[in-house]
Structure 1
Amino acid sequence: MNFTLREQLSAAFFAAIIAVLSPLTIPFGLIPLTLQTFAVGLTVTVLGARIGTASILLYLLLGLIGLPVFAGGSAGVGVLFGPTGGFLIGFIFNGLITGWIVEKAPTYFWGIIGNILGAMATLLFGMIWLKIGGGMSWLSAFNAGILPFLLPGIIKALAAGVIGILLRHRLSSYLIGLSR
């Protein structure tokens, strides 16, 4: 996949935004509440599926090589194999789902719907990871990985959808290939 310099810079800039917002956490049991999911949704709402997902992959790479950019300032391959690993993998699918929906219909309504569906994909991957990797029952994985994050996830999805579409419209002339 070839990216123009402007697309590369956009992906890097938004990877940095995710990296700056991700360490901001509220301790909340096994999985903390973070601005990470908001930043992921905002990124793909503004950039779309291709560039937005590239930005997420760059962010994940930064964390995997040891930069403290994951929730709570954590980093490294061990985080990927820990309790939050499924959520991190889920960000990739969040990017693809949300970005695809927003590209098809870049409106506030579809920005919000795309972000809610993308956030649900992240939570679903997190729950499956907790079930398989953590040896939890499906009910325990649901109670730990989805239930406490539904309302905060919807609130962050609403904010990412509205702010992301607003930025997408305002930045469309600077970001090649974006539809208004």
Structure 2
Amino acid sequence: MHETNQKLKMSLYAALMAGITAILAQLTIPLPLVPITGQTLAIGLCATILGRRYGTLAVMIYVAMGAIGLPVFSEAKGGFMVLIGPTGGYIVGFIIAAYVTGLILEKTSFTLLPAVVANIAGMVITLVFGAVQLKFIASLSWEQAMSGGVIPFLLVGVIKAILAAILGVTIRRRLMSAKLLPKEETRAA
């Protein structure tokens, strides 16, 4: 019974983090090809706070909400067409980024330096997925896809990765000390 309650609690945390991701996605700085948003910060928070399994679940819930048409993506967009459009690769990349970020933290530790490294790895994954889809959907050269879909986001991405690491580790520690976040559930294989 205890294990079932813990899984339910963690699933609810994942749903809550999906909602937080939807809110942070609305913080947008428009750029010509792809806007800078709070989504990537939220993805890092999901993985850093909840770990690989439930952090990825949170992101999958978020992507599913957007795919069915809820206006949760940046600029209150939603629908399957966003996922197959020029910026859809970034959104799909969020799922892999959350998984890898959480995995790195589970294999090392949920402390600041590994969290920064893990979140930067997640940022790189997101940018790679985004650039690849941007290149093909927008019929761009690799140089254009990199200059419009990766390079403008590197500095901001590193800043958001560091912020996600600091906030995520702090929130995770506080949730664990309050016995609201079970250590064994987020570190399970």
| Alpha-carbon displacement from aligned partner over 1:69-120 (angstroms, at most 9, x marks no partner) | 0011100011011111000011011101110111221110000100001001
The code of the aligned residue for 1:150 comes to L
Match of 2:20 among 17, 25, 34: 17
**Structure 2: gaps (5+ residues):** none
The TM-score with structure 1 as length reference comes to 0.95
| 1:39 to partner: Cα distance | 0.6
Taking the aligned partners of 1:90 and 1:8, their CA distance within structure 2 comes to 21
**Structure 1: gaps (5+ residues):** none
Residue equivalent to 1:62:
65
The code of the aligned residue for 2:175 comes to L
Match of 1:101 among 97, 100, 104: 104
| 1:178 to partner: Cα distance | 4.0
Structure showing greater Rg: 2
Aligned length: 178
- Judge which range, 141-150 or 96-105, deviates more: 96-105
| 1:133 to partner: Cα distance | 2.0
Taking the aligned partners of 1:63 and 1:175, their CA distance within structure 2 comes to 27
Say whether 1:167 aligns with 2:176.
no
The TM-score with structure 2 as length reference comes to 0.91
Taking the aligned partners of 1:60 and 1:96, their CA distance within structure 2 comes to 14
Residue equivalent to 2:8:
5
Residue equivalent to 2:94:
91
- 8 Å contact kept, 1:10–1:175: no
The code of the aligned residue for 2:96 comes to F
Match of 2:145 among 141, 146, 150: 141
| Alpha-carbon displacement from aligned partner over 1:113-148 (angstroms, at most 9, x marks no partner) | 000010010001001111222221111110111000
Q: What percent identity do the matched residue pairs reach?
A: 44
SS at match of 2:78: coil
Taking the aligned partners of 1:132 and 1:83, their CA distance within structure 2 comes to 8
Taking the aligned partners of 2:138 and 2:62, their CA distance within structure 1 comes to 25
